[in-house]
Structure 1
């Protein structure tokens, strides 16, 4: 079946030289840069040239063996990310190696930036990590998404929704970033992808932010779309050729589930509303990616200091020994699940049946 043509018609976002350089200079507004203004102007001219000529990936090399088009020039950034994922997959499959759980702190709050106080999510993350470390042989590590707000050079750029144009246009790992011509660099996802891949279990601990998961969690979620049906060979689509990608999907695409089979736990806490809905949303997303729930004790939504002052919410958590124990139980249920899975005793009913619909 012939693929439909890509739809176009949105206004151009391109900037002229004056506006581009004005925006570029904004990162050097500190008077301390005054003594190097001439150098900054020279650098701005180079940045403008890169932007004008759309040099998204200035460093490339031939794809080489194993790709549909070995002579296609692929970004070195992408090739390095791909190699890191392959190494992580080997660790995941190594039955002689340790079992691993990745515990994700989803809150952006930290005492190291404007809020001036640690988050309850981080405290719950440490409670979960300590329980696993003290009571099981499973290796638990923390991914602290609060560093997006507190650490220099930590970004998760937004998903560009390539998948919605055609699944093969969404590359695994994501090839949209870094985009050097647009200054979209220092993207954290190339470090995060391998951490998900090597993990046998994933635990997400998130607050409720306006009836939704937190901003850092949602950014990470969207950028993980490439892990669920994404194309591991950008040479198939000759980079970002939307029409070619549409034709590949119309001809038949297998929607590879790159994270399938890993177990998960979800803990969501709120103050007044939305905890159950966010917990369901996160769990449904993970299930759709073919991750496996570790059981009813591994999924939890609770209110801490319900309708109490935010200023005393940590005191409420101190007093709530039950929720602390429930978080320990969720982490231990996940650890038990990955141990049972490796031993061949964890059964997912219906997993052997073929889905009648692809993603």
Structure 2
């Protein structure tokens, strides 16, 4: 890979066409030449934080093979820039590209804590675990500035309501005080995503995420504070990180994780184009091999929407990956498991304080 030919610090290397738009935007060579002659930057590669004001913040998850009933996302778009991210396609609904726009146009929902509070006070709401980051990471770099996730966790704590978190950022340790308070009543489960033990792989797959060493340290610190942690080995990408399953599982267990989970990469919608462009620029020596193996896992296509099989694949390569995961669970997590979150306290704290009468 030639660093000069890639966009520094980003996963996607292009802005894929938004399928909802009739017109498309093209950067022409004559424009680039003009910028070069004038000493101007054709692309400043800056991240913009854009406020949005949704009417609700919690979404019901209807997909039958996603392990959650409700999710919420404080941010749309994610600066982590993971090239494989399934959430990229949702940025098109907001009028942006699933490519670079997804990483550089971050929509910020500052009213999220207020909307969550309103929901949890409703008499019709029944306690179910709500997962933060069902779509985009609630501890991405924007959180350091806006602290929306921390404020939402305070709402969950005040109402004694169960909450799950999915993240690959060590910023979660900033909120260790709230997480420990939630854990005392079995109200919190944390999922830390670790896709490789190689920093070189991490840097190209997930350019703005915490280092692998820092993520493993995060798992250990959370576990040492009796906060249950599941490690997501997701996604497994054939010929990129598929050979690391057993070492990853061992590292997760050694650092205190109670379980692991995985998916096999799938490249739906615009992600297929974005990933293909990326891998041909960053790993040209094995690009075709990786793409063909991903297709093999999904019935000959990068785009797989079949429930039940889309996450696990259905070929010999997928079978080998899934069998390695089963072996890893038996070898490193035999007597471990994530606890079921507590939904019993919420009714007493629906109004944010203990009911006396």
Name the one with the larger helix percent: 1
TM-score by length of 2: 0.30
Larger radius of gyration: 1
